[in-house]
Chain A
Amino acid sequence: MSSLGADPTATSTSTRRSAPGRSTAAGSARGITLLGGAVLPLLLLLAWQGATSLGLVNESQFPSPESVYLAGVDLGQRGLLGLYVAISTQRVLIGFAIGASIGLVIGAIVGLSRTWNVLLAPTLGGIRAVPSLAWVPLLILWLKIGEESKITLIAIGAFFPVYTTVAAALRHVDRQLVEAGRAFGLNGVKLFLTVQLPAVLPSVVAGLRLALAQSWLFLVAAELIAASMGLGFLLSDSGNNGRTDRIFLAILLLAVLGKTSDAVLGLFEKLAARRWS
């Protein structure tokens, strides 16, 4: 009888037991993904080292890994490296926080109300079409070369991805669910918090992730043109002085910072997708 496999308790315990096994499997799979992702950068590093030590490239045009490292140590000893990284990160985080918050609010208004959608969406679409650098002269005139001009530019960059994803996601929330919420007496803010907001949370996090990436883009745009500190300034300053080693250093740092912050939000995105859908 039991050999027929019809014993329900046996199956349920085996499913329960397989759960931790599955999570270790997932853990090692993630380890393999991480290692796999490191293969290409390591190969590039090797090729880079090879090309420079074999003299295949001109050192002043294409510095060796060692000289880039030394440029980093040198800047670090002068206290500039930490300062530049810190100030750039700070600008990105503040600008991102401001832009994303406004994007959330405006996105919610435009996504929920047909009237506001009609009134605001075309104008915002037009503003969005303006290339980021076009704002720079105006921001400098208005806000001088202080922090405000850069943070404003980054906020503009962070605003649009959040605004567009939130507005679109709210417009596409399952109408039947919203109607069910209404049928059970929910409306206004309560309906928003109970049905619409949880329904769009995964898209909101995805929008935030895009916005953060965009913030780094806009940071460099702002610092290249109008700054006396930061990684963008390091780029433009080294460009003027012909310091390719420092340019390489700044590019590598931007890659690492951008990728790290993106990975953190990517983690949130996965959590949100699991919890809220």
Chain B
Amino acid sequence: MSTVLSPATGLEASTLTSTRIANTADSVSFAGVGKSFGSRTVLADVSVEVERGEVIAILGTSGCGKSTLLRIVAGLDLPTSGVVSIDGTPVSRVDSRCAFAFQEPRLLPWRTLEANVSLGLPKKTPKAAGQARVRELIELVGLADSAGHRPREVSGGMAQRASLARALARNPGVLLLDEPFGALDALTRLKMQDLLLDIHAAAPTTILLVTHDVDEALQLADRVVLLGRNDDAAPDAGAGIRSIVTVPGARPRDRSSHELAELRAELLEGLGIERHHG
């Protein structure tokens, strides 16, 4: 019995699927996506195909355009060049197949956590089913005791989990997570990573996950996309895809395996951190 820990750990697969509606996953295709703000080019020629149900981790230094890329997928911003297509149809405005957990929790301050999560429910969800789903998600992310609290009455990490639950409530074809575990302590972070894997195993939606944490990327993703400017590019060129690494092994992975250690060093080097030769 793991009664000491929060409800987030001891979850069973059955609770995940009980009120789940349709099981959807959409493919995402980036074709030459570029984005400039005025004269400043942030992204240039990002091209990659993401399969249905795939988990992609996006790594890159701060300010390289990771959030911008996710916002383009969601249709919150339009690319300056190129197209993003979801399941073959180009994204031209806010796309209801996506759900976004922003880098900041962005909860409505005057609503309880529960009411905030219910904002994520798809349109036309029957009321009773919606309520049940919200309660289930709140419990999943370990917020059952704070469901009636307002965002300013809970910690930053709790608000971030509520924001994750709001995105999950959408039952999206593409789940966009922008550093969803950034504000969490190490233990909760690991628990939430496991939770995400469980959710994905029960209902394999497509996930684009932005993170700063190489270990998190290796633990969660099928492939890791390293975003950044090539060393030989002009200093004002936009960031593109520097490398795509396929992570070996089925999830959950052994966090201490030798193969992952090698990949970790490789990715850290890509982020500009030198290897320490012992």
Partner of B74, one of A183, A198, A277: A183
Q: A179-B76, A182-B94, A185-B96 are in contact. Are A198 and B104 (CB under 8 A)?
A: no
* Binary per-residue interface labels of chain A (238-277) against chain B in the complex, 1 for a CB within 8 Å, 0 otherwise: 0000000000000000000000000000000000000111
A181 CA / B106 CA spacing, docked (Å): 9
| A180–B102 touching, CB < 8 Å | yes
Partner of A198, one of B96, B98, B108: B108
B181 part of interface (Cβ distance < 8 Å): no
**In the assembled complex, which residues on chain A have CB atoms less than 8 Å from the CB atom of B96?**
185
Q: A176-B102, A179-B76 are in contact. Are A184 and B170 (CB under 8 A)?
A: yes
A177 part of interface (Cβ distance < 8 Å): yes
Partner of B100, one of A177, A183, A187, A198: A183
**In the assembled complex, which residues on chain A have CB atoms less than 8 Å from the CB atom of B238?**
none
Q: Write 24 A-B pairs (CB below 8 A) sorted by A numbering.
A: A176-B102, A176-B106, A179-B76, A179-B106, A180-B102, A181-B119, A183-B74, A183-B94, A183-B99, A183-B102, A184-B99, A184-B119, A184-B166, A184-B170, A185-B94, A187-B94, A194-B108, A195-B108, A198-B108, A198-B110, A199-B110, A275-B110, A276-B110, A277-B110
Partner of A182, one of B76, B108, B122: B76
Residues of B114-170 whose CB lies within 8 A of A: 119-120, 122-123, 166, 170
**Residue ID in chain B nearest A12 by CB atoms:** B145
**In the assembled complex, which residues on chain A have CB atoms less than 8 Å from the CB atom of B100?**
180, 183-184
B100 CB, nearest partner CB in chain A, Å: 5
Taking chain B's interface residues, is the majority helix, strand, or loop, or is none over half, making it mixed? Answer: loop
B182 CB, nearest partner CB in chain A, Å: 15
* Binary per-residue interface labels of chain B (68-92) against chain A in the complex, 1 for a CB within 8 Å, 0 otherwise: 0000001010000000000000000
B109 part of interface (Cβ distance < 8 Å): yes
Can you name 7 extra interface pairs (CB under 8 A) apart from A181-B119, A185-B123? A176-B102, A177-B106, A180-B100, A183-B94, A183-B99, A185-B96, A198-B110
A102 CB, nearest partner CB in chain B, Å: 26
Size range of the chain A interface in the assembly: 10 to 19
**In the assembled complex, which residues on chain B have CB atoms less than 8 Å from the CB atom of A183?**
74, 76, 94, 98-100, 102
**In the assembled complex, which residues on chain B have CB atoms less than 8 Å from the CB atom of A275?**
110
**In the assembled complex, which residues on chain A have CB atoms less than 8 Å from the CB atom of B94?**
182-183, 185, 187
A195 CB, nearest partner CB in chain B, Å: 7
A187 CA / B123 CA spacing, docked (Å): 13
A187 CA / B100 CA spacing, docked (Å): 16
Q: A183-B74, A183-B76, A183-B100 are in contact. Are A177 and B119 (CB under 8 A)?
A: no
**In the assembled complex, which residues on chain A have CB atoms less than 8 Å from the CB atom of B106?**
176-177, 179-180
A79 CA / B270 CA spacing, docked (Å): 89
| B108–A177 touching, CB < 8 Å | yes
A194 CA / B111 CA spacing, docked (Å): 10
Which of A182, A184, A187, A277: most chain B Cβ within 10 A?
A184
| B120–A184 touching, CB < 8 Å | yes
**In the assembled complex, which residues on chain A have CB atoms less than 8 Å from the CB atom of B98?**
183
